[in-house]
Structure 1
Amino acid sequence: MPHDVELVNVTKRYGSGAVAVKGISLRIPAATYCCLLGPSGCGKTSTLRMIAGHESVSSGSVLLAGREVTDLPPAKRGTAMMFQSYALFPHLDCLDNVAFSLKMRGVPKAERRARALHFLKLVDLERYASRLPAQLSGGQQQRVALARALITEPRVLLLDEPLSALDPFLRGRMREELKRLQRELGISFVHVTHSQEEAMALSDLVVVMEGGEIVQAASPRDVFERPATAFVARFIGGHNVLPAPAGDGTVAVRADRCRLRPPDAETYGPHLPGTVSAVEYQGPVVRVALATAAGEAVAMLPDDVFHAAPVAPGDAAVLAWSEDDMHALAPSPSDAAAATLTDPLAAA
């Protein structure tokens, strides 16, 4: 079965010569919720817009369901895009907003309104069909925009940071709604976000981008359990990036797998001495930060474990972990770039 989305050596250059996306290749299987995750400027939105056809591809190919669409306009691709701004027509009620694309296609009024009502029901908004956008909350406006995108029955739905304008409570509710719809409809969603929590909660496939490149593409659990590079480990969060106990390079160790030992205790296995710099009570866990020779390191301790042997800022302590809980990290693209700047021979 063809993948819903396939990118083959896709590059995006802008007029000034800046390269936003650097020869990336990616396959998104059918009926997958995929999140493109990374900081601002990493190339994730440019990638989404090239899939949609709203940005031209400088080189490489875009395939949807096995069909080459690199040079096709957005309307010919079988995708729909939900923009961050929602872009609802203020003078049209919810029903007519959702039905608008069908009106442009010449679908008879009774048919398009019946289909629009069906999609409003899908997002639990049929009772608001006659309301104008200004009479809706932010979350309701988003669901109208979602219904309007889905009424075209796309093979792939593209979402550009759709939850960024919502408050934290609504973001959680809408995450559940998006995942439910994706499963019920059985189509692929490609969702751009800079929120690690959002990507972890929604994705079947997380694609982490840095500097216009894909640095890791895997399931949320694989990305969290085994981040590929120091950048991924730091960006995903919940990890310490530490010097390898033997040899060059760095390792990642989950903060919740680390423990604290008194400075005079006999410690076996990998460990790192330091001074407690901060203690944060977070309910079920306590975050303890240590200043070490390798920089800040963190232990996330269960509440009962911490209070059995509490520490305070200024205390000496030893961060300890098991060899089984660490793994080696590959260099990040940014590490290679920094090496090139400081050492002209590094790129040779």
Structure 2
Amino acid sequence: MAKGADIELVAVTKRYGAVTAVDGIALRIPAGTYCCLLGPSGCGKTSTLRMIAGHETVTEGDILLGAENITDLPPARRGTAMMFQSYALFPHLSCTDNVAFSLKMRGVPKAERRARAAEMLARVEMTAYADRLPAQLSGGQQQRVALARALITDPSVLLLDEPLSALDPFLRVRMREELKALQTRLGISFVHVTHSQDEAMALADLVVVMNHGRIEQAAPPREVFNHPASAFVARFIGGHNVIALAGGLPIPAPPGGARHVAVRADRMMLARPGAAELPLSGTVRSVEYLGATVAVGLAVEGLEPLSAVLPEAAFFADPVHPGEAVSLGWKPEDMHAIA
């Protein structure tokens, strides 16, 4: 399979009995893309990944890799490789033998497969640990071995099922950087399932937000963050206030008949009552000091809870406290209309 292969899902559906896990999705992932499938538990992202891998059958629709329809091919013939959440390393095998295992199953001679395994371990900077067993490795080291094992088959696409979820926060950030650097160096597509918004934003060229088996939005991370396609995306991505345009609120309605607007929390303006001409009146619910910024939770009658994120210096120039009254609003250009 050629390295420069697009992945395309054409009206793909997955049903488990009466339950529809993936509902007729259409998606194209260009060759060499880092794609993150993002969404809450049960949204269909893992079922989608497993269908691409061939570990789940497709109920309806087609999966294409380049010009080839791989919908009904077994996993070993697809040109894809999958790295599982648990890493699934063989506990009784050394790192070298774990990495070489798939080549052994294909009948590759011992000297050749061990040489290729050594090359893969060097690529993920694990040469010094080649003779160790998985139990003698840290979580991050086990992940690198699992990556090397997946890459030894020279796939066109690497599929990753929540690969960072078992790591501590510090190591998660470090391994996130390593995954992106590795993908850039290899030049192949990575399709990565995660429920972490931060992880998707940091890694992805293409973020695919899923909900109830459907794709709510598929776009570059900056577009998803600044122009969420729906109220669900705005809420799930975080950092936004979703405001229903109910009657009686002193908020200018955007053109097009939108039912909601989204306003980034860091674009909210906050002032003492009467100190500025801001349209809404509210009460401070909470104050959270986050270092460089301060998050202020706000209650406004008739709206769901709102938040404002202020620079540390701006907040402490005139700090507010829970229970105090405030005025709030935003610039018209910071309001994004959504369905």
Aligned partners of 1:118, 1:272: CA distance in 2, in Å?
62
Aligned partners of 2:292, 2:177: CA distance in 1, in Å?
24
Aligned partners of 2:78, 2:276: CA distance in 1, in Å?
64
1:289 corresponds to which residue? 297
TM-score between both structures, scaled by the size of structure 1: 0.92
* 1:303 has 2:312 as partner: yes
Report how far residue 266 of structure 1 moved. Answer: 4.1
Q: Which amino acid is the alignment partner of residue 131 of structure 2?
A: S
Residue segments in structure 2 that go unaligned for 5+ positions in a row: 246-250
Report how far residue 265 of structure 1 moved. Answer: 2.9
2:262 corresponds to which residue? 252
Residue segments in structure 1 that go unaligned for 5+ positions in a row: 331-348
CA deviation map 1:21-75 (0-9, x unaligned): 0100000001000000000000000000110111111101100112101111111
Of residues 266, 277, 280, the one that matches 1:267 is: 277
SS in 1 for 2:327: strand
2:222 corresponds to which residue? 221
The answer to whether the 8 Å contact 1:3/1:27 transfers is no
Aligned partners of 2:215, 2:10: CA distance in 1, in Å?
12
Aligned partners of 1:92, 1:183: CA distance in 2, in Å?
30
Aligned partners of 1:227, 1:212: CA distance in 2, in Å?
18
Q: 1:60 to 1:265 in 2, by over 3 A?
A: same
1:106 corresponds to which residue? 107
CA deviation map 1:99-140 (0-9, x unaligned): 011111111111111110111011110000000001001111
- Map 1:73-88 to 2 at 5 A: 73-88=74-89
Task: Give the CA RMSD over aligned residues.
Answer: 1.2
2:7 corresponds to which residue? 5
The answer to whether the 8 Å contact 1:34/1:191 transfers is yes
- Map 1:1-348 to 2 at 5 A: 4-15=6-17, 17-244=18-245, 245-247=251-253, 249-267=259-277, 271-293=279-301, 294-330=303-339
CA deviation map 1:142-180 (0-9, x unaligned): 110000000000000000001100000110111011111
The answer to whether the 8 Å contact 1:261/1:320 transfers is no
Aligned partners of 2:210, 2:216: CA distance in 1, in Å?
6
SS in 2 for 1:295: coil
Aligned partners of 1:277, 1:267: CA distance in 2, in Å?
21
CA deviation map 1:259-309 (0-9, x unaligned): 1022223415xx321100101111111111111120211110011111111
TM-score between both structures, scaled by the size of structure 2: 0.94
2:248 corresponds to which residue? none
Aligned partners of 1:86, 1:280: CA distance in 2, in Å?
37
SS in 1 for 2:10: strand
Aligned partners of 1:9, 1:111: CA distance in 2, in Å?
42
SS in 2 for 1:48: helix
SS in 1 for 2:154: coil
Report how far residue 3 of structure 1 moved. Answer: 5.1
Aligned partners of 2:175, 2:198: CA distance in 1, in Å?
13
The answer to whether the 8 Å contact 2:5/2:156 transfers is no
SS in 1 for 2:166: coil
Which consecutive aligned stretches of 4+ in structure 1 deviate over 3 angstroms post-superposition? none
% identical equivalent positions: 70
Aligned partners of 1:73, 1:237: CA distance in 2, in Å?
38
